[in-house]
């Protein structure tokens, strides 16, 4: 079974620029998550989708972050404009449902200059 795919693996941008990340979950997984992991900390949930609907975006900084999962499969997370404090690893995860184990992709390491 193929795992969660993410791209790109690394991204370097200057502050105030925009950036987008892509995630393709495990086939058949209805629930998709985006996490932010700052160096030295555990991952923090940004947004959770069930199929193509948002079920939790309480920790998403909506003034600059947006995410979509239009066809209930792959998803994009966008930051516009980026700030220095957005430097982190952005992890995508998927699961068959809310109380099932989550499986993580390899993440995108974002550096803001």
Partner 1 sequence: GIQVEQSPPDLILQEGANSTLRCNFSDSVNNLQWFHQNPWGQLINLFYIPSGTKQNGRLSATTVATERYSLLYISSSQTTDSGVYFCAVGTGANSKLTFGKGITLSVRP
- Give contact residues for partner 1 (rule: CB under 8 A): 33, 41-45, 48, 50, 55-56, 89, 91, 98-104, 106-107, 109
Task: Pick between residue 65 and residue 90 the one whose CB is nearest to partner 1.
Answer: 90
Token pair belonging to 18:
């925009």
Tell me how far, at minimum, the Cβ of 43 lies from partner 1, in Å.
5
Rounded Cα distance between 11 and 87, Å, is 10
Task: Pick between residue 56 and residue 81 the one whose CB is nearest to partner 1.
Answer: 56
Q: Which residues pair with 5 in a beta bridge?
A: 24
Tell me how far, at minimum, the Cβ of 42 lies from partner 1, in Å.
3
Tell me how far, at minimum, the Cβ of 81 lies from partner 1, in Å.
25
Task: Pick between residue 81 and residue 87 the one whose CB is nearest to partner 1.
Answer: 87
Contacts of 92 (CB under 8 A, 6+ apart): 4, 6, 21, 23, 25, 32, 33, 34, 35, 75, 77, 104, 105, 107
């Amino acid at each position: 079974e193929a795992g969660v795919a993410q791209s790109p693996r690394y991204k370097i941008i200057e502050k105030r620029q925009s950036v987008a990340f892509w995630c393709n979950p495990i086939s058949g997984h209805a629930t998709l998550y985006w996490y932010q992991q700052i160096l030295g900390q555990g991952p923090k949930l940004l947004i959770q989708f069930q199929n193509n609907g948002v079920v939790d975006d309480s920790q998403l900084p909506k003034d600059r972050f947006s995410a979509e999962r239009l066809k209930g499969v792959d998803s994009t997370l966008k930051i516009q404009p980026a700030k220095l404090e957005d430097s982190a690893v952005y992890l995508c995860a998927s699961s068959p449902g809310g109380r099932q184990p989550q499986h993580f992709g390899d993440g995108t390491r974002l550096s803001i200059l």
